[in-house]
């Protein structure tokens, strides 16, 4: 059993607290806002009421788990914790300030972790006098339900810490993957074409949002189409991540944001949460029927798929993560029907090359450049698995 300190009483921090508490750990949940702490405690009580009703826990066990979480408004309560996980606003300077403050309170052996989804762990660690104990531990929302956790060692992180965290994350019933400290890590990097290429197809007038979504769910087996998913995530979140990844990659055109999504973001049309995004969620609003043109649907599906495969292949080429972790991240982090590298083998690596080369020759845009690993594999007659 470990004592875990969590900073941030919002949905993510509360979810992480639940994950550790229900697997036998003691948790100290800190927030400067007492209302946020009260809300977190109330929401957890409601969650466990439902779990007891479903006979997942006895009433006694549910109460025991809830009692293992202490809600505090002072960081001094972190004096004897083993691990701190920060889950606050995605603002680098605020995070650095928090880490610097926490380091003065915790023990010399306490590990300091950030739940950031895209910010540099190295930058966060630079605020600390002992940066070697800083690491990224990125849970996905909702943390109690999503299996994937990205573990991100910084260049300063001591050798062996990533493996220690992997073991800890496995002990709480999650699936950890280890990734380099690069923008977007695995999931938010590799998934960008699912959104970006879908919007590009829309902007070109090839198909409407209903047809593009239908192509990806009916032919690709994705649970949600790209426009449904962006509206579900919220353009206030999804657009900002896209913009952040683009800037962090020194404006690589592969990650270029779209004006279509930027305008929705600027207008406050965030998707489901605001009642309007790419779709209109007002009561009685009608949707167009998707095209049933099989040739068009296959063209859409293949174009987005090969862009996704290419990004996963490039992440492997650049040693962002190993083959298994890359595929696990996409199936467990964003519920893709298959790992993209396994999918590449099924689709045919030669077909991936031909499709991307055709796009590159048509557009002459660097966003369609083929990863060198794919050309090398074709020359050597290899597959990913």
Where in the sequence numbering do the catalytic residues fall? 117, 138, 150, 188
Tokens of 266: 């600027």
The values of phi and psi at residue 89, to 5°, are -55, 145
Dihedral sign computed on CA atoms, order 126, 81, 158, 317:
negative
- In whole angstroms, what is the distance from residue 134 CA to residue 83 CA? 10
DSSP H helices in the chain: 11-21, 34-53, 59-67, 92-103, 121-125, 161-171, 187-190, 192-203, 209-218, 226-233, 235-248, 259-267, 294-317, 323-333, 340-347, 349-363, 372-379
Torsion, Cα 205 206 207 212, to 10 degrees, reads -120
Q: Write out the two tokens for 141.
A: 């929302």
Residue 80, phi then psi, degrees to nearest 5: -120, 25
Given the DSSP bridges, would you call strands 111-114 and 83-86 parallel, antiparallel or unpaired? parallel
Beta strands 69-72 and 111-114 are unpaired
Residue 166: how many CB atoms within 10 A of its CB?
17
Residue 266 CA to residue 260 CA, distance in Å, equals 10
Secondary structure element (H or E) that encloses residue 29, with its range? strand 26-30
Q: Copy the structure tokens of residue 173.
A: 């019933």
What are all long-range contacts of 367-375, with beta carbons under 8 Å and residues at least 24 apart? 367/253, 367/254, 367/256, 368/307, 369/254, 370/310, 371/310, 371/313, 371/314, 371/317, 372/317, 373/313, 373/314, 373/316, 373/317, 374/310, 374/313, 374/344, 374/349
Tokens (6 digits) for 175: 């699936």
């Amino acid at each position: 059993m470990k004592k875990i300190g969590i900073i941030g009483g919002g949905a993510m921090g509360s979810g992480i607290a639940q994950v550790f508490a229900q697997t036998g750990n003691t948790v100290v949940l800190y927030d400067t806002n007492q209302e946020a702490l009260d809300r977190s405690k109330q929401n957890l009580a409601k969650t466990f009421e439902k779990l007891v009703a479903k006979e997942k826990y006895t009433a006694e066990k549910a109460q025991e788990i809830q009692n293992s979480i202490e809600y505090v408004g002072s960081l001094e309560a972190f004096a004897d914790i083993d691990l701190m996980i920060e889950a606050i606003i995605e603002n680098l300077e605020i995070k650095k300030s928090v880490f610097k403050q926490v380091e003065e309170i915790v023990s010399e052996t306490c590990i300091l972790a950030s739940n950031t989804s895209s910010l540099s762990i190295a930058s966060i660690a630079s605020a600390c006098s002992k940066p070697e104990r800083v690491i990224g531990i990125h849970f996905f929302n909702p943390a109690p339900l999503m299996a994937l956790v990205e573990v991100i060692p910084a260049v300063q992180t001591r050798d062996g810490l990533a493996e220690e965290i992997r073991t800890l994350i496995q002990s709480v019933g999650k699936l950890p993957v280890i990734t380099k400290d690069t923008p977007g890590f695995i999931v938010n990097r590799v998934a960008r074409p699912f959104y970006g290429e879908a919007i590009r197809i829309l902007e070109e007038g090839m198909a409407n949002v209903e047809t593009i979504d239908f192509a990806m769910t009916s032919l690709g087996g994705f649970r949600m189409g790209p426009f449904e998913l962006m509206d579900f995530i919220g353009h206030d979140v999804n657009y900002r991540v896209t913009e952040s990844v683009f800037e962090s990659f020194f404006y690589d055109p592969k990650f270029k944001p779209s004006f279509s999504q930027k305008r929705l973001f600027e207008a406050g049309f965030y998707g489901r949460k605001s009642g309007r995004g790419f779709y209109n969620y007002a009561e009685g609003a009608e949707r167009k029927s998707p095209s049933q043109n099989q040739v068009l649907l296959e063209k859409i599906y293949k174009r987005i798929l090969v862009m996704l495969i290419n990004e996963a292949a490039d992440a492997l080429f650049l040693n962002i993560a190993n083959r298994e972790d890359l595929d696990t991240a996409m199936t467990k982090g964003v519920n893709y029907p298959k790992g993209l590298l396994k999918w590449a083998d099924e689709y045919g690596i030669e077909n991936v090359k031909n499709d991307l080369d055709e796009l590159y020759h048509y557009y002459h845009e660097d966003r369609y450049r083929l990863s060198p690993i794919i050309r090398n594999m074709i020359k050597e007659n290899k597959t990913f698995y």
